[in-house]
């Protein structure tokens, strides 16, 4: 009962070679700090270990541990800050070293490069020969340790690189089938699939092979698009079908940088605006970029080019980050290029922000951003509220600006929830916060509406005073109408005086509706009755009838809502 | 005769800054407005009813446009939802400070429909700049209350409430008369009798049968 893929989708992905530097953030961080390999080190973000070196691992440090726990197991542990910029900057020499032997390098993320395997394998004769040469080259030029994996498609190649395996052509499915289901979730590799992995594990699908054996239809109906993507990976296919579109040629964004950019901080600034322009141009055509080419020309006339590949469609800040990382990498590493005297060590001054470009190359004068591969923009149709169209973005910017003027607690959106009164059923959430209702109106598991007995039916009052207005409900003798313990009025309401105004005749009324809430909580209960009344104009004036919602709690009447 | 537009209505529709169509409104409200919707760049003053304001915002938010309500701390958000407003596209700025003009100006840049209470606190000068901004951005400003020089002014008058009868029943619908006056294309006064809110909370046509008038109860 193997899955039967639709015709045309079955074409196996191109043979790729993945060059993986284990624990790259630690390697880059340790190099920046000048630590040797023997010192146990770990990169810590938000008080949790993100990555640790092999030495630290030998001491019992693990990913996900608290910093204190890690230091408890290994007191001499060097704790490094999490800094993607540093990682990306330090990775450029590795990409250069791989590129020296194999053309068409794509940086997947700092620490992982993918190269089409076909060409270099033909040139050097065999896959093991290529792997050996690349490992040697990276060690010699970038002073970094790396492992090679070759397989069909990026995902199997990455997993093969983790194990240092060369999977035979066509054998990716068998290779993946033996691996644990946990491999679907790769920390730091874009999509967070930890929840899916956990669920599959509990469902008894312990290996990728068991998951791949399910039919696509079943996976789609049970796990949705995210599950289908994971399923494609488990079957050894590319994450998305090969229906990618070639971008129109005119989408390349070009910027002349004058004065030439020769500092890292200037590169950060220069990358932002073209990134937004590229994203807007793509979005206008309903496209999003998943492979981004960055081309730069230097004052010395050298042309630099690098491709970044991403699992998720790139957002404007994602594009800007990659451009900045790439420019940083070029600016800081070019001085230690192959052939220079200190080629065997990592470039000096790694991580030193603002370090200038080495002499002889000059600054970057021209920048091109090239969308190498694009997909339909539907993949991007999920923003803050589940969609991110142009209108939503414009409105979001305007609301943030108002928040900048008036403070964060000035802009709200209303979130409907459960409750009985008009004020209880709405929670005002400051713009940008998580829009969860105060009390659920809908059962999250069943999707059915929860019962709120005593809830006021539609229509709801169009004005709900933030603090209820005091009111007097009077009978025809001018006495205040009371409510008995059983929720019965002592007399028929005849006049209502609101907020100290002269009393108005009651034209018609409905109720009373008693409400008892949370009577089981000591001291937290609430008993009240609600009454709707249509009031005539104030005496001696011409006016319109006005409908109000009155509430009586502990013998005192108040206006809870006005139907205006 | 639905779908057939007379030449004057067509001309109104073509007379649009930037050529963009007006924001659509709920069907029963369309005859009150020149062009059958909220013309971009115009000022539509709403007087006498918050429910009418909410009903005007509803259709545009359903179509993906955003609305903001400034200075109305006691707005009934639930009534807005019942009127058909998509709540997650309705931004509320209940306390815009002593001068709401800067916040309104910022909102006009990004939000299609900006409703504003307390417009009397805005100086004439700021008022003119807001109108110019709305016209430039193709947004609609909806002051709740008087606004000198508004393109359209909608006055709402409650005729009767239907539903409650001496303790029985409940509020169900309200019959109102909406009177539209204005300048230019809206100079010809128009009047409509509507149910606001109608039985489901949204604005509705008055049913053809004789309305059950509400009697005074002794």
| % of chain A exceeding 90 in pLDDT | 6
**Under an 8 A CB cutoff, do A415 and B102 touch?**
no
Structure-token match 């590799």, residue found = A189
How confident is the model over A295-314, as a mean pLDDT?
79
What is chain A's mean pLDDT, rounded?
Answer: 79
More confident residue, A486 or A442: A486
At B116 the pLDDT is 93
Q: Which of B:160-179 have CB within 8 Å of A? A: 160-161, 163-174
pLDDT digits (tens, 9 = 90+) for A399-456: 877 877 787 778 888 888 888 888 888 888 887 666 667 777 776 666 677 777 778 8
Helix/strand/coil for B191: strand
Q: Burial-class residue A488 by CB neighbours within 10 Å (0-12, 13-18, 19+).
A: exposed
Chain A residue whose CA is closest to B108? A398
Strand residue runs (E) in A190-271: 253-261
pLDDT band at A67 (very low <50, low <70, confident <90, very high): confident
How large is the ipTM? 0.86
For residue A416, give the nearest of B49, B87, B200 by CB distance. B87
pLDDT band at A339 (very low <50, low <70, confident <90, very high): very low
Q: How far apart are CA A110 and CA A88, in angstroms?
A: 5
Q: Which of B:135-164 have CB within 8 Å of A? A: 157-161, 163-164
Closest CA to A291 of A73, A68, A58, A116: A116
The answer to whether residue A467 scores a pLDDT higher than 70 is yes
Say if residues B67 and B24 touch (Cβ distance below 8 Å): no
Set of chain A residues whose Cβ sits within 8 Å of the Cβ of B97: 406
**Under an 8 A CB cutoff, do A391 and B74 touch?**
no
Set of chain B residues whose Cβ sits within 8 Å of the Cβ of A465: 74
Set of chain A residues whose Cβ sits within 8 Å of the Cβ of B88: 385, 413, 415, 435
Q: Cα–Cα distances in Å, from A201 out to A62, A188, A192, A223?
A: 21, 21, 16, 14
At A549 the pLDDT is 92
Minimal C-alpha gap between A440 and chain B (Å): 15
The answer to whether residue B1 scores a pLDDT higher than 50 is no
The answer to whether residue A506 scores a pLDDT higher than 80 is yes
Most confident of A149-163, A215-229, A358-372: A149-163
How confident is the model over A182-195, as a mean pLDDT?
75
Closest CA to B142 of B133, B154, B132: B154
Strands B67-70 and B90-93, sheet pairing: parallel
Minimal C-alpha gap between A391 and chain B (Å): 6
pLDDT digits (tens, 9 = 90+) for A26-35: 888 888 888 8
For residue A389, give the nearest of B54, B64, B159 by CB distance. B64
Minimal C-alpha gap between B91 and chain A (Å): 5
B62 and A CB contact within 8 Å? no
At A364 the pLDDT is 84
Q: Which of A289-298, A353-362, B86-95 bottoms out in mean pLDDT, i.e. has the lowest?
A: A353-362
The answer to whether residue B160 scores a pLDDT higher than 70 is yes
Chain A residue whose CA is closest to B217? A507
Q: Where are the alpha helices (DSSP H) in A301-418?
A: 316-333, 390-406
The answer to whether residue A382 scores a pLDDT higher than 70 is no
For residue B166, give the nearest of A461, A508, A546 by CB distance. A508
At A381 the pLDDT is 40
The answer to whether residue A247 scores a pLDDT higher than 70 is no
Set of chain A residues whose Cβ sits within 8 Å of the Cβ of B200: 458
At A387 the pLDDT is 44
Q: What's the helix, strand, coil split of chain A in %, to 5?
A: 35, 25, 40
b (16+ CB within 10 A) / e for B128-162 = eebbebbbebbbbbbbbeebeebbbbbbbebbbbb
For residue B66, give the nearest of A395, A412, A462 by CB distance. A395
Most confident of A388-402, A456-470, B14-28: A456-470
pLDDT digits (tens, 9 = 90+) for B162-191: 888 887 888 999 999 999 998 887 788 899
How confident is the model over A168-188, as a mean pLDDT?
83
For residue A416, give the nearest of B78, B106, B110 by CB distance. B78
Strands B190-195 and A287-298, sheet pairing: unpaired
Following DSSP, what letter does each residue of A405-450 receive, concatenated?
Answer: HH-GGG-EEEEE---SSTTTTEEEEETTS----SS-SB-TTT-PBP
State both tokens at A432: 């940008």
What does chain A come to in residues?
564
Q: Which of A444-448, B23-27, B35-39 bottoms out in mean pLDDT, i.e. has the lowest?
A: A444-448
**Under an 8 A CB cutoff, do A414 and B80 touch?**
yes
Name residue A78's beta-bridge partners.
A41
More confident residue, A309 or A428: A428
Q: Which of A16-25, A294-303, A554-563 bottoms out in mean pLDDT, i.e. has the lowest?
A: A294-303
Say if residues A414 and A428 touch (Cβ distance below 8 Å): yes
pLDDT digits (tens, 9 = 90+) for A399-415: 877 877 787 778 888 88
Q: Burial-class residue A395 by CB neighbours within 10 Å (0-12, 13-18, 19+).
A: buried
Chain B residue whose CA is closest to A395? B110
At A342 the pLDDT is 36
Say if residues A378 and A245 touch (Cβ distance below 8 Å): no
At A8 the pLDDT is 34
The answer to whether residue B213 scores a pLDDT higher than 80 is no
Q: Write down the pTM of the prediction.
A: 0.53
Set of chain A residues whose Cβ sits within 8 Å of the Cβ of B168: 510
Set of chain A residues whose Cβ sits within 8 Å of the Cβ of B90: 413-414
How confident is the model over A253-269, as a mean pLDDT?
80
Say if residues B23 and B38 touch (Cβ distance below 8 Å): yes
The answer to whether residue A389 scores a pLDDT higher than 90 is no
pLDDT band at A350 (very low <50, low <70, confident <90, very high): very low
Strand residue runs (E) in A46-137: 48-52, 78-81, 106-109, 112-116
B65 and A CB contact within 8 Å? yes
**Under an 8 A CB cutoff, do B171 and A459 touch?**
yes
Helix/strand/coil for B94: coil
How confident is the model over A346-363, as a mean pLDDT?
44
CB pairs under 8 A between A and B: 190
């Amino acid at each position: 009962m193997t899955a039967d893929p639709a015709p045309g989708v079955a074409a196996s992905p191109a043979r790729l070679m993945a060059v993986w530097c284990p624990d790259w953030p630690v390697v880059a961080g340790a190099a920046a700090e000048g630590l040797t390999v023997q010192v146990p080190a770990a990169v810590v973000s938000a008080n949790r270990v993100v990555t640790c070196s092999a030495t630290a691992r030998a001491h019992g440090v693990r990913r996900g541990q608290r910093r204190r726990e890690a230091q408890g197991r290994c007191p001499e542990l060097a704790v490094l800050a999490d800094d993607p910029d540093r990682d990306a900057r330090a990775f450029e020499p590795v990409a250069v070293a791989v590129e020296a032997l194999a053309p068409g390098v794509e940086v997947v993320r700092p620490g992982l490069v993918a190269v089409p395997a076909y060409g270099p394998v033909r040139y050097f004769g065999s896959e093991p020969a290529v792997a050996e040469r690349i490992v040697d080259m990276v060690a010699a030029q970038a002073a970094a340790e790396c492992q090679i994996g070759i397989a069909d498609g990026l995902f199997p190649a990455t997993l093969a690189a983790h194990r240092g395996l060369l999977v035979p052509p066509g054998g990716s499915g068998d290779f993946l089938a033996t691996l644990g289901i946990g491999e679907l979730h790769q920390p730091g590799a874009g999509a967070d699939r930890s929840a899916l992995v956990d669920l599959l594990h509990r469902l008894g699908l312990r290996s990728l092979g068991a998951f791949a054996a399910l039919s696509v239809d079943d996976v789609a109906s049970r796990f949705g698009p995210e599950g289908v993507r994971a399923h494609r990976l488990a079957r050894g296919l590319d994450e998305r079908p090969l229906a990618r579109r070639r971008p129109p040629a005119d989408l390349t964004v070009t910027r002349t940088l004058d004065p030439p950019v020769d500092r890292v901080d200037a590169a950060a600034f220069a990358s932002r605006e073209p990134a937004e322009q590229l994203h807007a141009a793509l979005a206008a055509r309903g496209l999003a970029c998943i492979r981004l080419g960055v081309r730069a020309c230097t004052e010395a006339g050298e042309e630099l080019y690098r491709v970044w590949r991403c699992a998720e469609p790139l957002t404007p800040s994602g594009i800007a980050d990659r451009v900045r990382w790439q420019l940083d990498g070029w600016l800081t590493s070019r001085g230690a290029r192959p052939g220079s005297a200190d080629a065997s060590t990592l470039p000096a001054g790694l991580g030193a922000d603002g370090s200038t470009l080495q002499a002889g190359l000059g600054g970057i004068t021209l920048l091109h951003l090239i969308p190498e591969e694009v997909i339909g923009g539907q993949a991007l149709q999920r923003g803050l509220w589940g969609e991110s169209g142009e209108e939503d973005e414009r409105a979001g910017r305007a609301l943030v600006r108002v928040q900048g003027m008036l403070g964060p607690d000035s802009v709200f959106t209303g979130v409907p929830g459960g409750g009985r009164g008009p004020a209880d059923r709405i929670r005002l959430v400051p713009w940008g916060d998580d829009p969860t209702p105060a009390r659920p109106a809908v059962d999250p598991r069943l999707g059915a509406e929860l019962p709120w007995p005593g809830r006021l039916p539609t229509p709801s009052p169009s004005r709900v005073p933030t603090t209820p207005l005091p009111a007097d409900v009077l009978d025809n003798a001018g006495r205040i109408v009371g409510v008995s313990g059983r929720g019965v009025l002592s007399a028929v309401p005849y006049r209502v005086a609101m907020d100290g105004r002269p009393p108005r005749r009651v034209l018609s009324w409905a109720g009373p509706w008693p409400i008892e809430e949370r009577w089981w909580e000591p001291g937290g209960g609430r008993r009240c009755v609600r009454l709707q009344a249509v009031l005539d104009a104030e005496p001696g004036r011409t006016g319109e009838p006005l409908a109000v919602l009155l509430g009586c709690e502990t013998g005192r009447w108040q206006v809870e809502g006005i139907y205006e | 005769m639905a779908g057939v537009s007379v030449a004057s209505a067509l001309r109104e529709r073509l007379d649009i800054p930037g050529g963009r169509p007006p924001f659509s409104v709920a069907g029963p409200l369309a005859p009150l407005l020149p062009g059958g919707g909220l013309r971009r760049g115009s000022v539509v003053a709403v007087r006498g009813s918050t429910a009418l304001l909410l009903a005007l915002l509803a259709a545009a938010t359903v179509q993906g446009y955003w609305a903001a309500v400034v200075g109305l701390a006691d707005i009934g958000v639930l009534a807005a939802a019942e009127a058909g407003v998509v709540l997650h596209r309705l931004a509320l700025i209940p306390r815009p400070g002593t001068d709401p003009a800067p916040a309104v100006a910022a909102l006009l840049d990004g939000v299609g429909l900006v409703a504003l209470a307390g417009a009397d606190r805005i100086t004439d000068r700021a008022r003119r700049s807001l109108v110019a901004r709305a016209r430039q951005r193709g947004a609609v400003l909806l002051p709740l209350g008087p606004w000198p020089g508004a393109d359209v002014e909608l006055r709402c008058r409650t005729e009767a409430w239907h539903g409650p009868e001496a303790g029985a029943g409940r509020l169900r619908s309200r019959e109102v008369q909406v009177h539209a006056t204005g300048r230019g294309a809206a100079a010809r006064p128009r009047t409509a009798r509507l149910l606001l809110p109608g039985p489901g909370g949204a604005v509705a046509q008055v049913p053809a049968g004789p309305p059950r008038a509400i009697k005074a109860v002794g």
